[in-house]
C-alpha cells in the first residue's frame, strides 16, 4: 500500500465511493427477496460480473485485476452492506481458488483461474465434515491413488455454494493413520460426480446456498492435486489465514448497514414530541455502535495489508484478531440496531432483523471465534 494500513489511498477512496453507488443501485434492491426465497441472487451476481468484481482477487497473469487485499476488503464490505449473501458469492470463489493461486501447478492456474476471474465459473471450499469442523484432523473423506488418478470417497458439510459452484476444492485423507499430516488437497470439477445431498434451511445468509456434498468414488486426475501429497492441512491453514480478514470485512459491512438503518429510523421516528434521535440514551447507543465498527474496520484493513506484505510474520495473529473482533462487533451492533427500531426492528418490514441474522454466521464460519481466540493466545504465548 502507498499509505498506512489505517488510511486509504485516494484511489481506494474513489473505488469505495464507486462501490457504494453501485451496490445501492444494483445489489440492495434484490437483498430482501434473496433472503425471503432463500435462492441464489443471480441478478446481483450478474451485476458483480459486469463490475468485474470476481476478477479483483485473481492475479493479472491469469485474467484478474490483481487488486491488493485492502481494495478487495472494500469491495466485500460495500457489497455486504447491501446484501451479505451476495458478498459471500465473491468470498467463496476467492477462498476456493486461494489454494490454487498459492500452491497449485501452473497448469491448474491457467486452466481454472481465468474462468473464475471472469465470473464464468464459481468455486467452493470443502474442508468441514459432520464430525470434523474445528477438528480438521478428524476428517474421514478418503483419497486413494489409482494410477494417474485419485479416487475420492466421503462427504463434506457446510459447503457454501453447494450446487452452484463449478469446482470444489476438497481436502481428503491420503494417509488415514497420519493425522493432519495425512491430508491432501484436490481440485474437483462438479461434473466429475459431485453430488449435493441436501441444502440447509438457515437462520441468515439465506440467499447463499449451504449444503452437504457427497463424493462416491469420484475419479480426480493426479494433476489436480493441489500442493504436495500430505500437505493439505498446511494448504488449508495457509488459505484461512488469508481469507479470514475479508470475513472481517463482510462483518464490518453488515454492522455498517445496521448503523445506517438505525440512524435513518431515529431521525424519522417521533416520540415525546420530537425525533427519537434527540434522546441522549439512544444517541449514545448509536455512537458506541459506530465506535466499535470503526475500530473493527481499522483492524481488518491492517490484517488485509499483511496478506500482501507481512515481513514480521504476524498474519496468523492479526487475521484471527480481525475476524474475531469484527464478527463479534457485527453481532453486537446489529443486535443494538434491532433495539433502536423497537418493535419494528423485530419485524421483516425493516431490514434490521436480517442484518442481525446475517451477522451471526460471521462468528462461526472460517473458524469459530472460540478457535480464533485459541489461535490468538497460542501466538501470544509462543
Under a CB-based contact definition with an 8 Å cutoff, are residues 101 and 238 in contact?
no
By the 8 A CB rule, do 186 and 225 touch?
Answer: yes
**Beta-carbon contacts of residue 326 (< 8 Å; ≥ 6 apart):** 247, 248, 249, 251, 252, 255, 296, 297, 299, 300, 362
- Verify whether residue 177 is a known catalytic residue: no
Neighbour tally for 289: CB within 10 Å: 24
64 phi-psi bin (left φ>0, alpha ψ -120 to 50, beta other): beta
Phi/psi at 211 (5° precision): -155, 180
> Does residue 192 contact residue 212 with C-beta atoms inside 8 Å?
no
DSSP 27: I
Please, are residues 223 and 104 in contact by the beta-carbon 8 Å criterion? Answer: no
Residue found by looking up cell 489465514 in the block: 241
Q: What is the C-alpha to C-alpha distance for residues 123 and 160, in angstroms, rounded to an integer?
A: 9
Catalytic residue among 77, 78, 129, 366, which?
366
Q: What is the dihedral of CA 260, 266, 268, 274, to 10 degrees?
A: -160
Nearest to 48 by CA among 98, 91, 8, 99: 91
Where do we find the cell 441468515?
Answer: 204
Q: Are the CB atoms for 216 and 188 separated by under 8 Å?
A: no
- 143 secondary structure, DSSP code: E
Helix axes 369-381, 315-340, angle to 10 degrees: 140
User: Active-site residue numbers?
Assistant: 366
Amino acid at each position: 500500500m502507498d499509505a498506512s494500513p489505517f488510511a486509504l489511498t485516494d484511489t481506494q477512496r474513489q473505488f469505495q465511493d464507486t462501490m457504494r453507488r453501485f451496490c445501492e443501485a444494483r445489489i440492495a434492491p434484490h437483498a430482501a427477496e434473496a433472503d425471503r426465497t432463500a435462492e441464489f441472487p443471480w441478478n446481483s451476481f450478474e451485476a458483480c460480473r459486469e463490475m468485474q468484481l470476481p476478477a479483483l482477487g485473481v492475479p493479472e497473469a491469469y485474467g484478474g485485476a490483481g487488486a491488493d487485499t485492502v481494495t478487495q476488503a472494500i469491495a466485500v464490505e460495500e457489497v455486504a452492506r447491501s446484501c451479505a449473501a451476495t458478498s459471500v458469492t465473491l468470498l467463496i470463489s476467492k477462498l476456493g481458488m486461494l489454494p490454487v493461486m498459492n500452491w497449485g501447478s501452473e497448469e491448474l492456474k491457467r486452466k481454472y483461474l481465468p474462468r473464475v476471474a471472469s465470473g464464468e465459473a464459481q468455486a467452493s471450499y470443502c474442508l468441514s465434515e459432520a464430525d470434523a469442523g474445528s477438528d480438521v484432523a478428524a476428517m474421514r473423506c478418503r483419497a486413494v491413488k489409482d494410477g494417474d488418478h485419485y479416487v475420492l470417497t466421503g462427504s463434506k458439510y457446510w459447503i457454501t455454494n453447494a450446487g452452484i459452484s463449478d469446482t470444489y476444492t476438497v481436502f481428503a485423507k491420503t494417509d488415514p493413520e497420519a493425522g493432519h499430516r495425512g491430508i491432501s488437497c484436490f481440485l474437483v470439477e462438479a461434473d466429475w460426480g459431485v453430488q449435493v445431498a441436501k441444502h440447509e434451511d438457515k437462520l441468515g445468509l439465506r440467499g447463499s446456498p449451504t449444503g452437504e456434498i457427497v463424493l462416491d468414488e469420484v475419479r480426480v486426475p493426479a494433476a489436480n492435486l493441489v500442493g504436495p501429497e500430505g500437505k493439505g492441512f498446511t494448504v488449508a491453514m495457509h488459505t484461512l489465514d488469508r481469507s479470514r480478514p475479508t470475513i472481517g470485512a463482510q462483518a464490518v459491512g453488515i454492522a455498517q448497514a445496521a448503523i445506517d438503518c438505525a440512524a435513518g429510523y431515529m431521525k424519522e421516528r417521533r416520540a415525546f414530541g420530537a425525533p427519537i434521535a434527540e434522546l441522549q440514551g439512544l444517541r449514545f447507543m448509536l455512537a458506541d455502535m459506530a465506535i466499535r465498527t470503526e475500530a473493527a474496520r481499522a483492524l481488518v484493513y491492517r490484517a488485509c495489508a499483511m496478506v500482501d506484505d507481512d515481513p514480521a510474520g504476524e498474519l496468523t495473529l492479526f487475521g484471527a484478531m480481525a475476524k474475531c473482533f469484527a464478527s463479534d462487533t457485527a453481532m453486537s451492533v446489529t443486535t443494538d440496531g434491532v433495539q433502536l427500531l423497537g418493535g419494528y426492528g423485530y419485524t421483516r418490514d425493516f431490514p434490521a432483523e436480517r442484518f442481525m441474522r446475517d451477522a451471526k454466521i460471521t462468528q462461526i464460519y472460517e473458524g469459530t471465534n472460540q478457535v480464533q481466540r485459541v489461535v490468538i493466545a497460542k501466538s501470544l504465548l509462543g
